[in-house]
Amino acid sequence: MSEFTGGRQAMSWPLLLSAGAVIGLALGARHVQGLFMLPMLADRGWGREAFAFATGLQTLVWGLLQPVTGWIADRYGSARVIAAGCVAYSAGLFVESLSPTPGALALGAGVVVGAALTATTFATIYGALARIAPAQQRGRAQGLAGAIGGFVQFILVPMVQWGIHDAGWSRALQGLAAAAAACALIAWLIDDRSTCGASPAGGTAGTAAPALRAALRHSGFWLLNAGFISCGFQLAFLGVHLPAYLRDAGLSTQSGVNAIALIALANAMGTYACGRLGDLYRRKYLLSALYAVRTLAMVAFVLMPLSETGLYLFATVMGATWLGTVPLTSGVLAQIFGVRYIGTLFGLVFLGHQLGGFCGAWLGGLVYDATRSYDWMWGLSIALGIASVLLNLPIRDRSIEASLAGRGAALAA
């Protein structure tokens, strides 16, 4: 089949491939940052905290600006927002490649790339797909785009490692910058303008204020936000520090590269599976189960003797649960609040994820420089995972879209 049918507009494969390519490049360039840390720090003579702070700042800027970018995409359409984000991403990576000081690194890799990620990842891409896809195929569309993105991430890992080895870390970053700029050319395919500015009942949509007020009063909104903290913490900690942790433990650089690649490959399949399962089962229970599996994998990895076999099993399980939280969390929001302001609402929930991510990346470097060990970080990651299992279970996930539509119509009148 060349298209999905039965929605506001056809879900074409060019659309899904474009969405997957953009999100895959954006997340892939972030996913491989851990491979750059040791060679960059060796060249510059900085401590791990300098790199960890820049990466943590990136995560924090991403979270703080995401609701604003999401609202712009909700109001004016996603294609132009995504294209601008690709150009900004390219600029940030280029600045990172030339950084002579930790401050310049924080500006490029932290502020500029962090802002660009708001326009090239979950809230904007998945928000557009949520508006374009028919409700019964929303999880499938988001899962397919996520799977395509996961394969792009998988391909980037050996390419980046080859680039670092043959051309140096700076030139490898510049290659990623060129790829990000090229993605701006395909962003126009992710066109949801026909669904932006329209209310569920037709006509003009009015203001986002009723949706925001309803979300802020809804316990499920806050439970999703709190539960997402551990996801951001765990992913940022592992993405930035896992290669260095493995080197410290005596494994080879190639073992770290293989683990990062396995995470990306398993993520492609896991994201699609979670999206599909979200169409069939209650998403809040799937979220709790996902956090439970991820947390148990971390416990087993820490307690068992470190070996390449154990590492690759751990990477496979972590990858399978890596970004599966995103279509499920987005799906719960769409289920409760509808899709009209999904970019804005997901951006607000994503803030919790990014606050956790900032702490996971930055504290990892800070704790290591202070203790020469990551033991405290593993313990905190596991504790937060247990909390997320419990936080998702009581979410009230019944739809309130009809009441939101009524409030918006009354306000417009």
pLDDT of residue 256: 87
3-state secondary structure 342-398: HHHHHHHHHHHHHHHHHHHHHHHHHHHHHHCCCHHHHHHHHHHHHHHHHHHCCCCCC
Q: Which residues contact 1 (CB under 8 A, 6 or more apart)?
A: none
What pLDDT score was predicted for residue 127?
81
Q: What are phi and psi of 184, to 5 degrees?
A: -60, -25
pLDDT at 407 exceeding the cut of 70: no
Residue range 86-99: average pLDDT?
Answer: 96
**Angle, CA of 286, 290 and 292, to the nearest 5°:** 115
Domains of the chain are 11-412 (1.20.1250.20)
pLDDT tens-digit readout, 276-308: 888 888 999 999 999 999 999 999 999 999 999
Rounded distance between C-alpha atoms, residue 371 and residue 72, angstroms: 44
Full-model pTM: 0.74
128 pLDDT tier (thresholds 50, 70, 90): confident
Confidence of residue 10 (pLDDT cuts 50, 70, 90): low
Q: Which residues is 97 bridged to in the sheet? A: none
DSSP 68: H
For the chain, give the number of residues: 413
Please name which of 74, 214, 206 lies closest in space to residue 131, comparing C-alpha atoms: 74
Residue 145's pLDDT band, with cuts at 50, 70 and 90, is: confident
